[in-house]
């Protein structure tokens, strides 16, 4: 079964520093991959997604992710963290055989310090 693994349940960065949130997937075929963000006491919002085409995907709020088949990874990055980026981030995969669904990783909480 397809799944995603998020390495690091908590990540802390200083304001202005690079943000790197890691996600690895398990799939024998090219997957469909997503990053969602959850701000405190809110539902999830889509940041970006990879389906086909360009492997570097740009999303909202300056985030981007690169699909690397050789590394089975889809890490999320942002060059310069802002205080407002503090949230929980979820990587997700849409399983082959039922692309109506999303299977989420366990999430990474990002803290941004001034």
Give the chain's end-to-end CA distance (angstroms, integer).
Answer: 41
Q: Which of 25, 34, 63, 74 binds another protein (CB under 8 A)?
A: 34
Min separation Cβ 114 and another protein, Å: 27
CA distances from 21 to 18, 28, 100 (A): 10, 23, 25
Closer to another protein by CB, 15 or 104: give it.
104
Nearest-angstrom CA–CA distance, 62 and 98: 30
**Minimum distance, C-beta of residue 14 to another protein, in the bound complex (Å):** 27
What residues contact 73, with CB distance under 8 A and at least 6 apart?
22, 23, 24, 25, 66, 67
Q: Does 108 bind another protein (CB under 8 A)?
A: no
- Three-state DSSP class for residue 51: coil
Closer residue to another protein (CB): 17 or 102: 102
Tell me the closest approach of the beta carbon of residue 80 to another protein, in angstroms: 26
- The correct pick among 19, 35, 89, 94 for binding another protein (CB under 8 A) is 94
Chain residues binding another protein by CB under 8 A are 32, 34, 41-46, 49, 51, 90, 92, 94, 98-107
């Amino acid at each position: 079964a397809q799944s995603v693994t998020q390495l690091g349940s908590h990540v802390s960065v200083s304001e202005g520093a690079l943000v790197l949130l890691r996600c690895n997937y398990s799939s024998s075929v090219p997957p469909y991959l997503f990053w969602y963000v959850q701000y405190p006491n809110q539902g999830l919002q889509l940041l970006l997604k990879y389906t086909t085409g360009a492997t570097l995907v740009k999303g909202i709020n300056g985030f981007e992710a690169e699909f690397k088949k050789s590394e089975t990874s889809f890490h999320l990055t942002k060059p310069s963290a802002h205080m407002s980026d503090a949230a929980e981030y979820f990587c997700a995969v849409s399983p082959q055989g039922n692309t109506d669904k999303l299977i989420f990783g366990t999430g990474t909480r990002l803290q941004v310090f001034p």
